[in-house]
Amino acid sequence: MPNIIHIDSLEYPGTEVYCKLTEAQLRSRLDADKAVFIAESPKVIDVALRAGYSPVSLLCEQRHIAGDAADIIKRCGEIPVFTGSRELLQTLTGYTLTRGVLCAMRRPCAPELADIVKTAQRVAVIDSVTDTTNIGAIFRSAAALGIDAVCLTRTSCDPLNRRAVRVSMGSVFLVPWTWIDSPGELQSFGFRTVAMALTDDSVAIDDPLLSSQPRLAIILGTEGDGLRREVIDEADFVARIPMAHGVDSLNVAAASAVAFWQLRIKTK
């Protein structure tokens, strides 16, 4: 049976994860095994549950308990389901964008790099990308276009950031990912690396040499400045997406979709 708890204040114990804790506090709350993240909307929560993520509590409008959230609540067992008036819940920043349902979920420990690339052929490497929207969009493209794993340098945005999760439409739950110190780490696992950058010695993204690589790690750089010089120098290849009309480059999220599609493993 669901544990429905009617609240008339956001001071109620257990609701602080939705309204008082910052993203950093959610990640480090109390200790690592109690860290959480927030998933928004029934669709995104459904993807997380199907991927094996564990719910801690739900917060939803009263009208959604027997409506949009009914199936989610049933599947979540006896966890607390906090509910209150629409007026109360709308005082949460961004709440009106969540389709009436929020879920606090247990944050898993990041897997070892060796485990997620063991059988991978195409890996995305995100280096110092800090915009949550771009992170979510990159993950959505990675999931849709057959990327086997995603690696992020520690200067990149957290994929389980609330907005990144929402923009990805839950795709962050579908592709294995972990943190790395340097994009060059992939080379020790048998990957050739290709840096997406505009340099004089870069090759076009449709160069057959790139797509023919059995194991390829595609490195994407930060907004604005792009990849660091040392990352480009350490890469096996440097590739560019040819531009028209004098446009110098694409947004990193758009560029990722083009690169993932062009460099995918092509099946006969």
Q: What is the pLDDT of residue 98?
A: 52
Distance CA(65)–CA(84), nearest Å, equals: 11
Amino acid 39: pLDDT: 93
Nearest to 3 by CA among 89, 77, 69: 77
Read off the pLDDT of residues 213-234 as tens digits, 9 standing for 90 and up. 999 999 999 877 789 999 999 9
CA–CA dist 99, 202 (Å, integer): 45
Q: Which of 59, 51, 88 is nearest to 172 (CA)?
A: 51
pLDDT of the residue at 152: 98
Is-contact 127 224, C-beta < 8 A? no
Q: What is the pLDDT of residues 22-55, one digit of tens each?
A: 777 777 644 566 789 999 989 999 999 999 999 9
User: What pLDDT score was predicted for residue 62?
Assistant: 84
CA gap 190, 214 in Å, rounded: 9
Q: In what order do the strands lie in the sheet with 149-153?
A: 177-180, 149-153, 122-126, 216-220, 192-196, 237-240, 203-204
Residues whose CB is less than 8 angstroms from the CB of residue 9 and which lie 6 or more positions away in sequence, other chains included: 88
Per-residue pLDDT, 18: 87
Q: Mean pLDDT in runs of 10 for the chain (268 residues)? A: 85 86 69 81 94 94 85 92 84 60 92 97 97 97 97 95 94 97 97 93 94 97 85 96 87 96 84
What's the confidence (pLDDT) of residue 97? 44
Write down the pLDDT at residue 246: 84
Is the full-model pTM beyond 0.85? yes
For residue 180, give every residue at least 6 positions away whose Cβ sits within 8 Å of its Cβ, in sequence order, or none: 113, 125, 151, 152, 153, 154, 186
For the chain, list the domains and their CATH numbers: 3-106 (3.30.1330.30), 113-262 (3.40.1280.10)
